[in-house]
Structure formats: structure tokens, C-alpha cells
Amino acid sequence: MTNQDIDRAQLVEDHSDYLLSFAMTKLRDIDLAKDLVQDTFVSALTKLESFEKRSKLRTWLTSILNRKIIDHWRKAETRYTDPISNFFDQDDSDRHWLMEKKSDSSIANIEQVLEEEETMNELKDCLDKLPEKWNGIVSSKYLEEKESEQICNDFDITPSNLWVIIHRTKLLLRDCLKSKVVR
């Protein structure tokens, strides 16, 4: 495919909303997300020759966008010196959650208590309360279905960091969802 073969306006019509929604599974700032989507189109048009027809255009665009999101995080880290790994050096007092927290009720029956749409809305709300990078990791695992090695690479973390993040994500989501079911 060459630059001339592609209808640029159609590209925007067909993919911009999807790409924006994808970006927002990983980012909180909608203006930043919109900028990155626009950059994605610009980059895509400059390297159309590297697009292989075997892959879907949308998949290809998504991978360019994903790279931009990762680059954004990397830059943000050097700016604010708040790498994700710092999280693990901090106070460890909440690690022994089993000992201090008596969680008697389970959320296993949530889908019997809430309508599906309601459950999904509550889940989205709870996901928004996670640290932004954790959203990125959750999206990498559950939306993009990436292997742990790829996720660790993208986020500059070790496999044990990853298990801990997923574990803590689940605890936060569980507590958040529980608070929505028991009202």
C-alpha cells in the first residue's frame, strides 16, 4: 500500500473513535488521548510501506498508538521520577491483607445481584480508581491478551512486580465492587 492508495478522510472516520476508546482504557486524560490518536494517524501515513496487508489496518494502527502510550509513560516517569517500581519500595504495611482484613463476604455472586450492564458500569467506575499505569497493565492483559514478558518489557517491571500489581488490582477491585453490592 502506498500513500496515494489510502483515503485519509475514511481512515479517520473508520478508526478514530475506536482508537480513542482504546487509549482511554489506559489513560485518564482525554485531551492527551486525542493528541496521541492524531499522532498515530500522522505516523501511520509516513510509514504506510511498513504496513503488511496480512494484518488488519486497525490492528496496525492500534499497535502504533500503543507504542505512543508507552513512550508517553516512559517520558512522564523521567519527568516526575515516579517510576512504577517505586510503588514497591514504599511502606509495606498493607501487604498482609489477609491478617488484618476480615473479608467475610465474597463477590462471587455479583452477577446475580446486579444486572450485567450495571455490573459493567460499576467495574468501569472501579477501574478508574486504580493508578493509571495499572489500568494500562490490566488493558494489556485483558484486552490485548499480551504475555507477561511483553507486559514486563513495556512497563519496565519484573515478573514478580507484575504478579503483585495484578494481585493488588484484584484486591482494590474486589473491595470497590463489594462496596457497590452491599449498600
Is the Cβ of residue 8 or residue 47 nearer to another protein in the bound state?
Answer: 8
Alpha carbon distance 147, 134 (integer Å) = 16
**Region 114-133 residues binding another protein, contact defined as CB under 8 A:** 116, 119-120, 123-124, 127
The one segment of 51-59, 66-74, 82-90, 93-101 that binds another protein by CB under 8 A: 93-101
- The answer to whether the Cα torsion of 96, 102, 103, 104 is positive or negative is positive
Q: Is 179 helix (H, G, I), strand (E, B) or coil?
A: helix
The answer for 21, left when phi > 0, alpha when psi is -120 to 50, beta otherwise, is alpha
Find the shortest distance in angstroms from Cβ 79 to another protein: 25
Sole binder of another protein in the list 32, 88, 174, 181 (CB under 8 A): 174
Of 11, 32, 48, 70, which one interacts with another protein (CB under 8 A)? 11
Residue 50: which residues within 8 A CB-CB, separation 6 or more? Answer: none
Closest distance between another protein and the C-beta of residue 106, in Å?
A: 5
The number of angstroms, rounded, from the C-alpha of 52 to the middle of its chain's C-alpha atoms is 26
Question: Would you call 5 helix, strand, or coil by DSSP?
Answer: helix
Site for another protein in 21-60 (CB under 8 A): 21-22, 24-25, 30, 33-34, 37-38, 41-42, 45
Instruction: Determine the angle formed by the axes of helices 8-24 and 30-46, rounding to 10 degrees.
Output: 140
Residue 8 grid cell: 485519509
> Which residues of this protein are in contact with another protein, per CB under 8 A?
8-9, 11-13, 16-18, 20-22, 24-25, 30, 33-34, 37-38, 41-42, 45, 95-96, 98, 103, 106-108, 110-111, 116, 119-120, 123-124, 127, 138-139, 141-143, 147-148, 159-160, 162-164, 166-167, 170, 173-174, 177
